Amino acid sequence: MSNNEQGKNECVICNIPFHMLVNSTNEQICQTCKALFQINMKPSLKKSLQLLRTITVEGNGFVEIDGEEFIVEGTSGLGYRFQFQNPFKMSVECYRSKDAALNSEDELCLYPCIDLDDESVELPIGDLVFTYAMTLTNDMECAEEIETLEECISIRDSIASTPTKEQWNYVMEKRRNDAERRGFGGPFPVDEEEFGWFCEDFDFPENFEPMEDVDEETNENNQTTLEDDAIVAGLSRRSQERIDRFILDLDRY
């Protein structure tokens, strides 16, 4: 029996014997079931739980359990925390290492979106966790098919050695600042020289009225234009030019 085990008991939910860990708060329910059923789901099939138990620490496996979250280490050296999001998907957080994932307070992380191939088929919760655990554990191989995992690994590889917290945070902050600089998701910067006129006050004359009877002429291309390019009777040439620029900008965007 390892140092983190107190003894062995049978879970009252799945009826599968489990090793009680030192940090266990309930001697009747295994940590695996506790993590799954905090989401208020009906117990999954026993076969599904038996499969999952083979890879969790309660079955002497490699998947750590922290409350309702599961933690694994990828072949890349990255650490992942993931938990139930819906019957078809787990939400995933990517950390610089497994230790960082286990002690995630004050650690920055990425949020890779990982979807199953077929979201029309609902998996038993044990199978869903098992699938994500195996995918994230083999992240370097799976990254060939999952673009978001490839991005996480690429960011880690941009740091020569195993990232320290300071190195990882620097890269995370730089990535966020680059995204803001590119205007990803806004807010979008305004070129004051190009759009500053938009905030200016128009110099409408007193008692101006829109033109009702406008003399039109047809040019050689059979296009009808307003005589002397007037838009509103009584407006100054400056205001009319600004309206022209506004219309051109609308067409351009």
Mean pLDDT of 12-41: 70
What per-residue confidence (pLDDT) applies to 160?
73
What per-residue confidence (pLDDT) applies to 227?
47
* Coil/strand/helix, residue 125: helix
Q: Which of 10, 14, 116, 134 is nearest to 74 (CA)?
A: 134
Q: Using one digit for the tens of pLDDT, what is the confidence trace for 44-72?
A: 566 778 788 889 988 788 999 998 899 99
Among 120-134, 140-154, 203-217, the range with the most confident prediction by mean pLDDT is 140-154
Residues with Cβ < 8 Å from 172, sequence gap 6 or more?
Answer: 108, 110
Cα within 13 Å of Cα(100), Cβ side:
22
The residue with greater pLDDT, 29 or 164, is 164
> Does the model's pTM come out above 0.95?
no
Mean pLDDT of 172-194: 64
Among 17-31, 86-100, 210-224, the range with the most confident prediction by mean pLDDT is 86-100
Beta-strand runs (E) in the chain = 5-10, 17-21, 64-66, 69-73, 79-86, 89-95, 216-218, 224-226
